[in-house]
Structure 1
Amino acid sequence: MSEEKTLSAQQRAIAPIAAAAATGDMERLNPSLKQGLDAGLSIGDCKEVLVQLYAYAGFPRSLNALAELMKVLEERKQSGIHDSSGRDPGPLPKGAELLAVGTTNQTRLAGAPVKGPIFDFAPAIDQYLKTHLFGDIFARDNLDWESRELTTVAALAAMQGVDAQLQAHMRISMNVGLTPSQLLEFADVLGERVDATVAGRARAALERQLYAAK
């Protein structure tokens, strides 16, 4: 009998970083970034987590969080700490290829082609999701999809009024290889490192998705 997969230290470290950045909690983000770097996240990993968050929490939160990361890195440099820079993403698709890649990525992540009346009502949002979120962002190969989904789950769990999207990303997280026990572990980390309310939203969304999948 194989052992149940658990989250890596780096994956666990994403939880408080993404949650604090999504809510603009710089007081909590600062030590969370330091702990994440100490746990093995590279500078590039941290940047990518904070850049991706703009798609879910908005540019202001993302920009402020990136500024805080710059502050943390300067403090660590002054203290003689040299963090790994990580790696840059490979070449990205452009033009019509970007739409094709984004559509393929969206289908793989969701488990089926994504359709619905809201996309018929506002075709622009469908175009933006396919070309930008699932094209420009998810085509960047310097952060794996599991880490991108954990970033999104933590951010959405920290925000109010996005329960449907949080549940959807629990499903997507399992589609990219995370197990229910890993997602429950991630919720526990949110409880330990963020707060009980955020953890409760994550657990409830996971329970709803597991029930819906029966």
Structure 2
Amino acid sequence: MKRRFIMLLISVFGFTSALGAEEKGLNQKQQEIVRISAFTASGDLEDLKISLNDGLDAGLTVNEIKEILVHTYAYCGFPRSLNGMGVFMNVLSEREAKGIKDEIGRDITPIPSNRNSVEYGTEVQTKLVGAPVQGGIYNFAPAVDEFLKGHLFGDLFGRDILDFQTREIVTIAALGNMSSVNPQLAAHFNLGMNAGLTKEQINGIIDVFDKKIGKKQGKNAREIFDKIIKK
């Protein structure tokens, strides 16, 4: 009887610890978001197909995945975003043919007609960065500043299917699987934490890279993030 009670305590403690670890790190849906975004950014369509199926099986809705693929175009360009969307359409057709009914999910809340994208985007950007963004390249090329504020942070971040934390997971995952974008990856590690991502969650993103995407990408991301948290 005593032995059975001890085993029960060990079982409960282990289950509780596992739940705590998931709460601190990434849940299964978020892990699949990392893979979907990373493989879209790199143009790895075979692995993307697998991750899209896994994402749907994990409970991501069709509209959430559409939005992930829409968001990636701001970082990896329309060609790879559109290729990813094409793969997703095929995945949905194949699943439907097998009798799998995936949840469509809700659409975006209509954006107020009187919302100024640049003004709204400036507020969002300032909140995520932690200070107004100005100077340097933005003075050299004002159009870049306007497009970043108005379109990226105003129009895209203003679509509420994905919250700011999720959009930063998508962004970090995309940048982490691209070459020669370490300054932007470092910046979005900071933006992600300002959006509310914990250090454990960001380490969770890097863990997905190590285990599911590529050791080289995981090593690079971890080195950058370690420098940030040591400052």
- Cα deviation, residue 116, structure 1: 2.2
Query: 1 CA distance for matches of 2:141 and 2:76?
Result: 20
Query: 2 CA distance for matches of 1:181 and 1:187?
Result: 10
Q: 2:158 corresponds to which residue?
A: 139
Which of structures 1 and 2 has the bigger CA Rg?
A: 2
Q: 2:178 corresponds to which residue?
A: 159
Query: For 1:1-214, what aligned pairs fall within 5 Å after superposition?
Result: 5-93=24-112, 97-212=116-231
Query: 1 CA distance for matches of 2:207 and 2:61?
Result: 23
SS at 1:50 equivalent: helix
- Cα deviation, residue 111, structure 1: 1.1
SS at 2:116 equivalent: helix
Q: State whether residues 92 and 136 of structure 1, in contact with CA within 8 Å, keep that contact through their aligned partners in structure 2.
A: no
- Cα deviation, residue 93, structure 1: 4.7
Query: 2 CA distance for matches of 1:99 and 1:125?
Result: 12
State the TM-score, normalizing by the size of structure 1.
0.94
Percent identity of the aligned residues? 46
Deviates most, 195-204 or 72-81: 195-204
Query: 1 CA distance for matches of 2:170 and 2:115?
Result: 28
- CA shift digits 1:104-133 (9 cap, x unpaired): 011111111111210000000000000000
Structure 1: which 5+ residue stretches go unaligned? none
Query: 2 CA distance for matches of 1:181 and 1:147?
Result: 15
SS at 1:53 equivalent: helix
- Cα deviation, residue 7, structure 1: 1.4
Deviates most, 201-210 or 160-169: 201-210
Query: 2 CA distance for matches of 1:10 and 1:65?
Result: 18
Structure 2: which 5+ residue stretches go unaligned? 1-19
State the one-letter code of the partner of 2:164: W
State the TM-score, normalizing by the size of structure 2.
0.88
State the one-letter code of the partner of 1:67: G
Q: State whether residues 93 and 101 of structure 1, in contact with CA within 8 Å, keep that contact through their aligned partners in structure 2.
A: no
Which structure 1 residue ranges, 4+ long, deviate > 6 Å from structure 2? none
| Number of aligned residues | 211
Q: State whether residues 25 and 203 of structure 2, in contact with CA within 8 Å, keep that contact through their aligned partners in structure 1.
A: no
State the one-letter code of the partner of 1:19: A
- CA shift digits 1:133-156 (9 cap, x unpaired): 001100000111111101111110
